[in-house]
Chains A and B, each alone.
Chain A
Amino acid sequence: DAKTTQPPSMDCAEGRAANLPCNHSTISGNEYVYWYRQIHSQGPQYIIHGLKNNETNEMASLIITEDRKSSTLILPHATLRDTAVYYCIVRVPRNTDKLIFGTGTRLQVFP
């Protein structure tokens, strides 16, 4: 079973920041937080990952709380092409690439 809890859906206006929350209250010390997204009918796409520090790349920012029990993925200026299902996954990056996907958050960006 997935170790994360995400809201089933969210809306965001184009150009605004999209903040997608994820709860992972049972995360262990060596587990990283990963975010992937899946645009309709395509394969999932890696977005970002982190352990305890906040991370930023060209796609998004990842904010992890100090107790590591929750995190937020931030898309700073959402576009219509960001409409997708976003998955938050926790895992230990060791000896396996296995990903356990939950139900994710369906983000709808509207004009």
Chain B
Amino acid sequence: KAGVTQTPRYLIKTRGQQVTLSCSPISGHRSVSWYQQTPGQGLQFLFEYFSETQRNKGNFPGRFSGRQFSNSRSEMNVSTLELGDSALYLCASSLSLAGSPEQFFGPGTRLTVL
């Protein structure tokens, strides 16, 4: 069974641009979460989607947004990129709403903002 896939794996953008990252969960998984990882702040929760609805959101500015499609694939968007948005963006999927014990993480998208 294929794991969580994220595209692209690497991305270079300049300040002020916007970016869209994609996450395809494991087949059958309905929940997708996004995390940002930086050397200074570590792993931080961005948001979580289940059945196309955002059910939880972290403490990030409105420039960070996301959505989930009917096939459970998810995208996150960052507008007006800042240097501090350079990070590894990880998504994770799980089976259901009930706080599944095991979440499966993808390999991440490494975003560099110049």
Contact = CB atoms under 8 A, between A and B. Distances in A.
Nearest to B49: A97
Given A44-B90, A101-B42, A94 B98 contact: yes
B103 A46 contact: yes
B105 A44 contact: yes
Given A44-B43, A44-B90, A97 B100 contact: yes
Contact of B99 (A46, A92, A101): A92
Interface of B: 4, 31, 33, 35, 42-45, 48, 55-56, 58, 88, 90, 92, 94, 97-108
27 contacts: A32-B101, A41-B88, A43-B4, A43-B90, A43-B92, A43-B107, A44-B92, A45-B105, A46-B103, A91-B99, A93-B100, A94-B99, A95-B55, A95-B98, A95-B99, A96-B55, A96-B99, A97-B99, A97-B103, A98-B48, A99-B45, A100-B45, A101-B43, A101-B44, A102-B42, A103-B42, A104-B42
